Chain A
């Protein structure tokens, strides 16, 4: 199973001709277990949330689906951060078992670790989210649309903070590598994690907010935001996982030939 997972990962990153290594298999297995645990944790949090909402029986007409969705996504994001933390602990244990370790001799900038596309995606998701929320909160005529704007501002703020917590883990995590190829692989794994940290939860909330809005202008603002961030996130994901130019040198075709 570990072998197949590693093979698929290498294929996806343009290194199909590279043999899978026990280190890569162990790291991908650790990530798989952590992700599974994240999903279980998320399910538990969701179940607790549903029970609490049902028992509290607080009437919030018209907006409850949006608020509930917001809390659901916060739970999802937090479960993911916990998963990252568990994954980091397991990977450090794997690193301690290596008899040979390699590292970059020069300081690597955060932007180089997470990749240019991560910065573009984050800037658009956070920046445009704040602008969309601000526009609705201050410019909408209907008080309920202004409330939606305030909700979007708060959601973007909360998810930015959660994203920063996840990003700190991704960037500070020590490199787990025993040769140049695995050092390149470490960078790719880090970029994948960084991009998962900025999963555009506000985008999904914006779609629901757009549906609940009462004016065409607010609907267009939120839908425009949702479409733009979806496109940017898709492009960023593609660039990190497939684009040859985004790969570390050890993972480029000419280096593997």
Chain B
């Protein structure tokens, strides 16, 4: 379910984008799921079509969804492949850390520092 609140300080396009991204990452929307058309979702949520189009554009740029011409917009396999690569890299990192005898808490701090260095925002 997608929820849009007019009272929220978050812009509507970001509400749509964030909720769709979360549902795709949590695999509530599995690869290949067809999303509603921009026009349909905009009508259902009472938003302008440009607002939903912007959310879709950003999700597409993030590789989470793909547009297949007139067939519609689908949850992309590219996002799933990216996550699989990230999981594989994490497995290799965990093995390296273990073989070097580094403490797990320190290993996590190293990862956090590396992520910060790339400009990523870390959860609180």
Interface, chain A (partner B; CB < 8 A): 95-96, 98-108, 174-175, 180, 183
Chain B nearest CB: distance from A89 CB in Å?
14
Chain B neighbourhood of A96, CB < 8 A: 46
**Per-residue contact bits, chain B 33-61, to A (CB 8 Å; 1 contact, 0 not):** 11111001101111000000000000000
Interchain CB contact under 8 A, A107 and B72? yes
Give the A-B pair count, Cβ closer than 8 A.
60
Minimal Cβ-Cβ distance residue in B for A95: B46
Tell whether, in the assembled complex, residue A175 and residue B44 are in contact, meaning their CB atoms are under 8 Å apart: yes
* Chain B interface main SS type: mixed
* A98–B72 CA distance with the chains assembled, in angstroms: 28
A175 to B4, CA, bound (A): 13
* A99-B40 Cα distance, complex, nearest whole Å: 19
Binding site for A on B (CB under 8 A): 1-7, 19-20, 23, 28-29, 33-37, 40-41, 43-46, 72
Residues A102 and B46 in contact, CB atoms below 8 Å apart? no
Q: Could you tell me the distance between the alpha carbons of A133 and B72 in the complex, rounded to whole angstroms?
A: 39
Q: In the complex, A229 Cα to B41 Cα: how many Å?
A: 36
CA of A102 to CA of B7 in the docked complex: distance in angstroms?
Answer: 14
Is A102's CB under 8 angstroms from B6's CB? Answer: no
B46 touches which of A98, A104, A105, A107 (Cβ 8 Å) = A98
User: What are 13 of the A-B contact pairs (CB < 8 Å)?
Assistant: A96-B46, A98-B46, A100-B6, A102-B1, A103-B2, A103-B41, A105-B1, A105-B2, A106-B29, A106-B33, A107-B35, A107-B40, A174-B44
- Contact among B2, B28, B35 for A102, CB-based, below 8 A: B2
Other A-B contacts than A104-B1, A106-B29, A107-B37, 9 sampled, CB-CB below 8 A, are A99-B5, A101-B44, A102-B1, A103-B4, A103-B41, A105-B19, A105-B20, A106-B34, A183-B1
Neighbouring B residues of A95 by C-beta, 8 Å: 46
Q: A174-B43, A175-B44 are in contact. Are A105 and B35 (CB under 8 A)?
A: yes
* Residue of A whose beta carbon sits closest to that of B43: A174
With a cutoff of 8 Å between Cβ atoms, the chain A residues found around residue B1 in the complex are: 102-105, 180, 183
Asked if A108 contacts B5 (CB within 8 A), the reply is: no
- B45 to A103, Cβ gap below 8 A? yes
Out of B20, B36, B40, B45, which one reaches A101, CB within 8 Å? B45
CA distance A159 to B114 in the complex (A): 67
B71 vs chain A, min Cβ distance (A): 11
Q: Contact at B36–A104, with CB atoms within 8 Å? A: yes
